Structure 1
């Protein structure tokens, strides 16, 4: 029997009761056999599964240049207001498996101490939602857990991003599990349902950029007031790709995130230095390289990308920070695609700066 009113209010009450049960829909990433031979490929579990081997949960598979074992990569978003999704909704269980788990969870929750008043009423409403077809506003109920449609779709449920440090954000996908037919899109009210764009953001989060060290001339040890040339060859400074894939019977999505290097910023590690150009931002050349290698005969020239230290580093070194900015875009299932915030990756190199010794006669 449909009921009008605020869906979110009902869901919030029910979620409090369900939090006391064993309905844990998100689990930490785990190491799994990589898919294909791509370096760093990994698989991240997004919920469900049991010892019976029944296929019962969607899994996001990462491939390409990604961190091992589902860990976060080394890209930092240049947009401080952008974050990967803290949670999302994804395929969870088929109808028969969902009935088995959910009915057991509700029975356990109902028998827990203190399950009276609002909490007890929420459990009762939840049972009516899945057993008797009790619905509300824009959400239908499910008679007998939709068992009559087993194999024709799946129940979707909230999944926490295990790499999200904020527990409140991570646990904010609190709507009750909902049914989606095979080949159909989730109802529009579930804005956090998994999409190619969400997969692209997750691929971004797991992307591993190369540990590229800037070439310097002179190498490691330079002299006060002597221009130090800096450059990156195209061969070690190329675009990087990471792919995230989610596939279950009747539903499949994929997104590939591509990072393309666009500039290098040099920070000498001391205010007593000058950079070339003055901004410290070295743009990418037409051939995909940055800067220009030093060659004999250029000692009296200023480098297009480099540093000049104005004092000695003494008995220590200066930490030269080389930050590479990467332009990031994505493509996904169904021709979807777009841009993501630029990413940055920083390398630190120790540079020794010596005084030029002069001999007086």
Structure 2
């Protein structure tokens, strides 16, 4: 046997390239249609908020090296379609319809200042100005590291997964009628 076996870092990079990271599942409340000056709750499925790992082996004529790569979610970046960017340190808090609003709080939200009138109409929707919606996206940033038997390890470039959707935002007008 001649040469040097692959380094554990090569196996770590191979394992990282084989990570099957899920795209976020968007959660919004109010869902379907939000409202001007009313906080829109933003979250991704909390079932995705855990490390994902995979292992790989790299071999050549001189031997083999194995390593495990792990991707850990760091944050979610929301692009709300109205020019705002909201960065949340976790998945956000799902709204629970079974609980009263007074019993709930969120750590990830955005308040629209304008309706979506004049925005694009989502594909597949009838060509009606009332169907205009903001294009939105959520991007999870994953920290990727690798480790190998014997204590070798390192950090690889972050990876991102993204999902997109649409949100109509309506303006509600309140009319005060004086009492007689």
TM-score norm. by structure 1 comes to 0.40
- Which is higher, the Rg of structure 1 or of structure 2? 1
**Mapped pair 1:221 → 2:33:** yes
Check if 1:243 corresponds to 2:49: no
- With over 3 angstroms needed to count, the CA separation of the structure-2 counterparts of 1:348 and 1:233, relative to structure 1, is closer
Q: In 2, Cα distance between the equivalents of 1:224 and 1:300?
A: 23
Higher relative contact order (CA 8 A, sep 6+): 2
Inter-partner Cα distance in structure 1 for 2:168 and 2:36: 10
Q: CA RMSD, aligned part only?
A: 2.7
**2: CA distance, partners of 1:301 / 1:255:** 43
Specify the alignment match of 2:95 in structure 1: 294
Select the residue among 85, 88, 98 that pairs with 1:282.
88
Cα deviation, residue 202, structure 1: 2.9
- Matched position secondary structure for 2:101: coil
User: Which SS does the other structure have where 2:17 is aligned?
Assistant: helix
- Looking at structure 2, the residues matched to 334 and 238 of structure 1 have their Cα atoms a distance apart, in angstroms, of 25
CA contact (8 A) 1:227 1:302 kept: no
How much has 1:299 moved relative to structure 2? 6.6
1:314-346 Cα shifts (integer Å, max 9, x gaps): 232112121211121111243311222322222
Aligned position for 1:320: 136
Out of 112, 117, 121, the residue aligned to residue 309 of structure 1 is 112
Q: Could you state the TM-score of these two structures normalised by the residue count of structure 2?
A: 0.75
SS at match of 1:310: coil
Q: How does 1:35-74 map to 2 (within 5 A)?
A: none
Structure number with the higher strand fraction is 2
Structure 1 unaligned segments of length 5 or more: list them.
1-152, 154-178, 187-193, 285-289
Query: C-alpha distance in 2, partners of 1:301/1:229?
Result: 11
